[in-house]
Structure 1
């Protein structure tokens, strides 16, 4: 998983947006909304790999032979949690329009933004009602190759239960931060209760809804047998122009309903179709909806 130098340069200019920056245990590159001087000393904390060595207190190191980082009053980091839906329905779409590949590139781009901003990044992979693998928590741009390698190992090959997976993720003790869920939302029991449980833990949330072009406007017609990609349940249908119009209308109603529900609960919502390049989605659409700036 490689980015061009041009894309990386643009990504490095972005930061993730949280309406209330979460106070962390380490200095980050972002600025808190609290008033104060950026040169006002606040506290010390233990050195962690990837920290800016310019913040190391060499006097304390000389006395104690232990590295400590100086924290300043106005500087805080953000805990960022990217959650990726790994259901078989995500493995749909040809070539660059494959939803799962698209989701992984989005996760890589968002992760690069977080790591480049000094934020604390974790990535969770959701399958079968569980969090089956995790990356992080990590910070600093040195972790970017490890993030890419982690994402390359993932495969969308199982059923999913988003609510159960999100509830499981909420149980582990984590610092409150920004949750970003990337999914097609094809889950029989929905996602709402699981995501709201995360909100109840003090997290902020953004939902990136990814669909393939033929899921918005199916190109087929006639007498067909449809097979559910996750459950293998079969359904015979006869598709004509009227049914296609009804389908398109219901998809748009579903998207609008999801957007309204997210707005009601303070969740930032972005619907994406994989015919749009992931770079454009990250650099333009996510900026437009306030996920990044």
Structure 2
């Protein structure tokens, strides 16, 4: 790893934290069999070198896997079972639209750190990891990375992402789903401030082939705005301006609308078998990963 890569790595994940991540692995509630061999294993009829067990032969089984030595002794047909490894694909959809470049602590940096941590866990456990940056479409993606030797490449990719453009979430998710038909765990990291609504995008990744986890990340300033008086507010993505008189009743209505929006998204995701988690950038990202994501069943 070059010095530049080491500096980038330390900005996202420090060595002591990565050592703690080594103890974790991804958990999927669905059967996610991949095309390449990983470290999840199940008993199957196959040609793996590691023998597991026997079962009775039934018509239609492959004769190559009959144990003829047992047949010679017992005059019965038994089929050899082997431990065939299963591969888990991890897709991380990372929102890099301009709305994420806001807040103290900054939303974009917080989500990049979470993405890097999850990517690291996937790689060291030899899962297939693909980080996909979304904004007006698919901005960039890592492609399928595997193994610890790809960690620096993954971190360089995440470090180099900068907030850009508007969020065309629906179109971006549609393109992702069409291009990635392999089953897997799909983690969406976003503020979900989407003008055309979250449903237009989540419908492509909720249910079916993906084990969906949505992590909505907002800043403390968005959750509890400290504003008052007559202000001109500018949309960070499309530069639309609005003159607003901020009053306490308006702040109260804003909070109620935000709560209703988040609750609606939680219900939408959970009804389709996914998991929704709301967090603030005030929550340290390591706490989010080591505690909250473990509690919600993504990590074990």
| TM-score (norm. length: structure 1) | 0.83
Report the alpha carbon displacement of residue 194 of structure 1 after superposing the two structures with TM: 2.7
How far apart in 2 are the matches of 1:38 and 1:239?
69
Report the alpha carbon displacement of residue 35 of structure 1 after superposing the two structures with TM: 8.2
Q: Does 1:214 align with 2:221?
A: yes
How far apart in 1 are the matches of 2:116 and 2:201?
24
Q: Name the counterpart of 2:62.
A: none
- Answer yes or no: is the 8 Å Cα contact 1:38–1:75 preserved in 2: no
Q: Name the counterpart of 1:287.
A: 294
Q: 3-state DSSP class of the match of 1:197?
A: coil
Q: 1:235 to 1:38 in 2, by over 3 A?
A: farther
Q: Name the counterpart of 1:80.
A: 90
Q: Does 1:146 align with 2:153?
A: yes
Q: Name the counterpart of 2:262.
A: 255
How far apart in 1 are the matches of 2:34 and 2:82?
12
Q: Name the counterpart of 1:103.
A: 111
Q: Name the counterpart of 1:112.
A: 120
Q: CA RMSD in A?
A: 2.3
Q: Does 1:5 align with 2:15?
A: yes
How far apart in 2 are the matches of 1:195 and 1:90?
18
- Answer yes or no: is the 8 Å Cα contact 2:198–2:265 preserved in 1: no
- Give 4+ residue runs of structure 1 displaced > 6 Å after superposition: 34-38
How far apart in 2 are the matches of 1:215 and 1:72?
54
2:132 to 121, 124, 133: 124
Structure 2 stretches lacking a partner, 5+ long: 1-8, 54-80
Report the alpha carbon displacement of residue 6 of structure 1 after superposing the two structures with TM: 2.4
Report the alpha carbon displacement of residue 98 of structure 1 after superposing the two structures with TM: 0.5
Render the CA deviation track for 1:234-256: whole Å, top value 9, x for unaligned.
11111122222222222222211
Q: 1:28 to 1:253 in 2, by over 3 A?
A: same
1:158 to 152, 157, 165: 165
Q: Name the counterpart of 1:223.
A: 230
How many residue pairs align between the two structures?
261
How far apart in 2 are the matches of 1:38 and 1:7?
36
- Answer yes or no: is the 8 Å Cα contact 1:182–1:208 preserved in 2: yes
Report the alpha carbon displacement of residue 27 of structure 1 after superposing the two structures with TM: 2.7
- Answer yes or no: is the 8 Å Cα contact 1:210–1:274 preserved in 2: yes
Which of these two proteins has the greater Rg computed from alpha carbons?
A: 2
1:175 to 179, 182, 201: 182
Q: 1:89 to 1:173 in 2, by over 3 A?
A: closer
Report the alpha carbon displacement of residue 158 of structure 1 after superposing the two structures with TM: 0.6
Structure 1 stretches lacking a partner, 5+ long: 43-70
Q: 3-state DSSP class of the match of 2:140?
A: strand
Render the CA deviation track for 1:46-96: whole Å, top value 9, x for unaligned.
xxxxxxxxxxxxxxxxxxxxxxxxx953531201111111111000013xx
Report the alpha carbon displacement of residue 200 of structure 1 after superposing the two structures with TM: 6.1
Report the alpha carbon displacement of residue 38 of structure 1 after superposing the two structures with TM: 10
Q: Name the counterpart of 2:196.
A: 189
How far apart in 2 are the matches of 1:175 and 1:15?
20
Q: Name the counterpart of 2:275.
A: 268
2:240 to 233, 246, 258: 233
Render the CA deviation track for 1:176-223: whole Å, top value 9, x for unaligned.
111111111111112323322234662221111110111000011111
